[in-house]
């Protein structure tokens, strides 16, 4: 996850005014009953009003969860449906076991639909319209620590 943060942070420094990246622990309040703590989230520049001193009040543009055995089902199903319902613009599931990323974006019907299945093995590159020009090579993202 550190490589992902560095790649996005470097992009944001080169493109000021795009938005800000945050990591857990930081609560995202989606309703009175739905408070989540994503691994990584990106607030686009048009979302600055939802950032408070204590938390984020509303859906971030991008939410990233790193899958683990313990959280896989919750992240892939329950949280995806919650983010879909509340207006998250993009949702990434990083799978360090498979060196893969699933990208979900809203369909014309408003559902967070799988837009891409990317793998390091295939040499895929992660990109998003939320961060124009930012490309993250999965082989680099998932490479073993030296």
Instruction: Indicate which CATH number applies to the domain containing 87.
Output: 3.90.1570.10
pTM: 0.94
Q: How far apart are CA 11 and CA 31, in angstroms?
A: 31
* Mean pLDDT, rounded, of the chain: 95
Here the tokens at position 27 are: 């609560």
pLDDT higher than 60, residue 79: yes
Cβ-contact 94, 66 below 8 angstroms: yes
> How many domains is the chain partitioned into structurally?
1
**60 occurs within a structural domain:** yes
Facing residues of 125 across strands? 137
**Mean pLDDT in residue range 127-137:** 96
Residue 100 belongs to a domain: yes
Give residue 132's pLDDT band: very low, low, confident or very high (50, 70, 90).
Answer: very high
- For position 125, what pLDDT does the model report? 97
Q: Is 146 domain-assigned?
A: no
Beta-bridge partner residues of 40: 23, 64
Each residue's pLDDT tens digit, 7-46? 999 999 999 999 999 999 999 999 999 999 999 999 999 9
Residue 100 predicted with pLDDT over 50: yes
Confidence class of residue 146 from pLDDT cuts 50, 70 and 90? Answer: very low
Please choose, from the candidates 76, 74, 66, the residue with its C-alpha nearest in 3D space to the C-alpha of residue 142: 66
pLDDT of residue 144: 65
> Look-up: residue for tokens 């998003």?
128
CA distance 18 to 137: 21
Res. 115: pLDDT tops 80: yes
Which residues, including other chains, have CB under 8 Å from residue 109's CB and lie 6 or more apart? Answer: none
| Residues spanned by the domain of 115 | 2-141
> Which is nearest to 39 in space by CA: 84, 98, 101?
101
């Amino acid at each position: 996850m550190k490589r992902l943060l560095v790649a996005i942070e470097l992009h944001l420094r080169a493109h000021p005014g795009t938005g800000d990246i945050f990591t857990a622990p930081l609560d995202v309040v989606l309703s009175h009953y739905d408070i989540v703590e994503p691994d990584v989230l990106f607030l686009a520049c048009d979302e600055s009003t939802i950032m408070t001193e204590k938390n984020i009040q509303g859906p971030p543009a991008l939410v990233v969860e790193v899958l683990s055995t313990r959280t896989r089902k919750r992240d892939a199903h329950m949280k995806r449906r919650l983010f879909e319902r509340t207006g998250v613009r993009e949702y990434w599931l990083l799978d360090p076991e498979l060196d893969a990323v699933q990208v979900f974006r809203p369909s014309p019907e408003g559902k967070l639909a799988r837009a891409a299945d990317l793998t390091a093995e295939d040499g895929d590159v992660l990109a998003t319209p939320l961060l124009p020009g930012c490309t993250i090579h999965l082989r680099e993202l998932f490479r073993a620590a030296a």
